Amino acid sequence: MKRRVVITGMGTINPLGHNLEETWENVKKGVCGIDRITQIDTTDFTVKLAGEVKDFDPVNYIDKKEARKMDRYTQFAFIAAKEAFADSQIDMSQEDPYRCGTIISSGIGGLKTIEAEHERGQKRGFEKISPFFIPMSIANMAAGQIAIETGFKGVCTCVVTACASGNNAIGEAFHYIRDGYTEVMMCGGAEGCISEMGVGGFTAMKALNTTEDKDRASIPFDAERGGFVMGEGAGVLVLEELEHAKKRGAKIYGEIIGYGASCDAYHITAPDPEGAGGAACMTIALKDADIQPEQVGYINAHGTSTHLNDEGETKAIKKAFGDHAYKLMVSSTKSMTGHLLGGAGAVEAIITTMALKDGFIPATINYKVPDPACDLDIVPNEGRNVQVEIAASNSLGFGGHNACVVFKKWEA
């Protein structure tokens, strides 16, 4: 028998806020978190904008000595996890730590550390770089640091599937609990690579928007879209087996009921233009949830603001949902946050959960020019007060990775 899995804690730090409450308030207001890049000198860069975490100083959240041993992406993950863990009010003295696991993903990992230590090595010699270089830069260290902090001794791993990473982490954690391997899972994703190599690399492959108008930079489904905007931050959720959560009187935000994953097996960076892989992924998730397409009311789309993604995802939704696709609300909150890469799915899972909980569907902001190829209801510019019972969140990643998680409104 499949066990039910609920969300009992959430934490985030991202371009819209340093915590869950601030983030959700700004989502509801339709705030744009995109602005001029401050972490690097962009004088000689074509790209000038990103979704940075504003006014960030890690020592406001983490002991200064420990923060120095963490890459920026790990700092974000650690901060979000501390919030989620505190929010869940789990008492580890009452838990079997080997039944509590951690899956925290990153698409790239410690790129800023790699850049800084390479520069140091060139100047001082590579045997004089930081002894913390390796543990700071590897993509699994956020999961390791969080497990150390919480005392979770069960499975501890990191799914690396580019921009699908955060969603895959949540989906895999969901299955761990549902299928009886754990009772509690800390899961999500983080990214912090707004750096010379990060911005330069995505610019070189013509993936980023080059406008200097922050209100026309991340414009998913708009006919004038011309590339994504890099973002940074983290989202972490605490998932729990339903009876376990009830027994300890936990607050419940929502329920996860389905998860699907697939691969386009098409191209290293471009999605399948016909959306076959994305459609299959959503269909797998619906089957896993044991629901019909008509039961879904909202999709938090991957919606990156690239021509190929937005058109292909629209086709995928039509394939998976048939005529019901035109009755769905399908918004992209990347219009507010930019694209958090490996952290995107996790932050968007939190937003989707809050959308169901509060009966508010977020907008795709700064939308102006309709694209006939993206003709679904993208909730343009203004969010809606609408009660929805079931929602899905999509993530796609370089390499052809697709991940879809299905959420259900919690009714006590």
List active site positions: 163, 302, 339
Radius of gyration of the chain (CA): 20
Spatial distance between the Cα atoms of 103 and 185, rounded to a whole number of angstroms: 7
Q: Are 129 and 120 in contact (CB under 8 A)?
A: yes
Q: Are 269 and 205 in contact (CB under 8 A)?
A: yes
Classified as helix, coil or strand, 297 is coil
Q: Are 195 and 111 in contact (CB under 8 A)?
A: yes
Burial of 22 (0-12, 13-18, 19+ CB in 10 A): middle
The encoded tokens of residue 152 equal: 């979770």
CA 395 → CA 213, 304, 389, 398, distances in Å? 26, 10, 21, 11
Spatial distance between the Cα atoms of 73 and 231, rounded to a whole number of angstroms: 12
Spatial distance between the Cα atoms of 14 and 24, rounded to a whole number of angstroms: 11
Q: Are 230 and 48 in contact (CB under 8 A)?
A: no
Q: Which residues contact 288 (CB under 8 A, 6 or more apart)?
A: 257, 258, 259, 260, 406
Amino acid at 43: T
Q: Which residues contact 326 (CB under 8 A, 6 or more apart)?
A: 376, 377
